[in-house]
Amino acid sequence: MEFDQYHEPPEELSPELRTKARLFASLAEEAEAINCYEQRLSVEPDAEARSIMANAQLEEFKHFVMDLEFLFRKMPVWREMGEGVLFKEGSIVENGDTAEGHDDGDETNGSPAAVPSGNGVGGSLGIGSLKGAGL
């Protein structure tokens, strides 16, 4: 049985990484479901059917943010990036650059660095949980 959330042989991944992979897959599925309901709601003429689908979409909103928060807690650097962008007024791109530690606009092509450098992001070393890692 194959699981397409893995990009490396699952047996080579730690249990914690496999848990994260499941949550990444769940996050993508919830986003897809929100998108699906958004389109259905836009074309459904029946008011009662729309209210049922709107209710279902609310559940997907909840599931998505719970998945995201779980992953943020497991990946401190990502969480810090989120803190610099989410729920902020102003330009999303500028907030992203600031959170990443670059104010010069060089990273506006959609390919931000995986690990922020410089002094602009928190200062956390991003160590987080090490549970299960042995010698």
Partner 1 sequence: MNHLLRGHAPITDEAWKQIDEEARDSLVPRLGARRLVDFTGPLGWGHSATDLGRVSATSEAPAESVQMRTRKVLPLSELRAPFTVSRSELEALDRGAVDTDFDSLNEAARQMAVAENAAIFHGLSEAGIEGIAEASSHQPIPLGDNGFQDYPAHIAKAIEVILSSGVEGPYGVALSPECYTGVVESAERGGYPLLQHIRKILQEGGDGPMVWAPGLDGVVVASMRGGDFLFESGQDLSIGYESHDESVVNLYIEESFTFRVATPEAAVALPK
Inter-CA distances, 36 with 29, 32, 61, Å = 10, 6, 12
- Dihedral in degrees, nearest 10, Cα atoms 11, 15, 16, 21: 50
Nearest approach, Cβ of 134 to partner 1 (angstroms)? 3
Interface positions with partner 1 (CB under 8 A): 73, 76, 79, 101, 117-120, 122-135
Q: Which is nearer to partner 1, 23 or 33 (CB)?
A: 23
Can you tell me the distance from the alpha carbon of 51 to that of 57, in angstroms, rounded to the nearest whole number?
Answer: 10
Nearest approach, Cβ of 110 to partner 1 (angstroms)? 21
Nearest approach, Cβ of 11 to partner 1 (angstroms)? 13
Q: Which is nearer to partner 1, 41 or 70 (CB)?
A: 70
Q: Which is nearer to partner 1, 20 or 40 (CB)?
A: 20
Question: Are 129 and 75 spatial neighbours (Cβ–Cβ below 8 Å)?
Answer: no
Nearest approach, Cβ of 29 to partner 1 (angstroms)? 25
Q: Which is nearer to partner 1, 108 or 117 (CB)?
A: 117
Inter-CA distances, 39 with 8, 32, 50, Å = 34, 11, 11
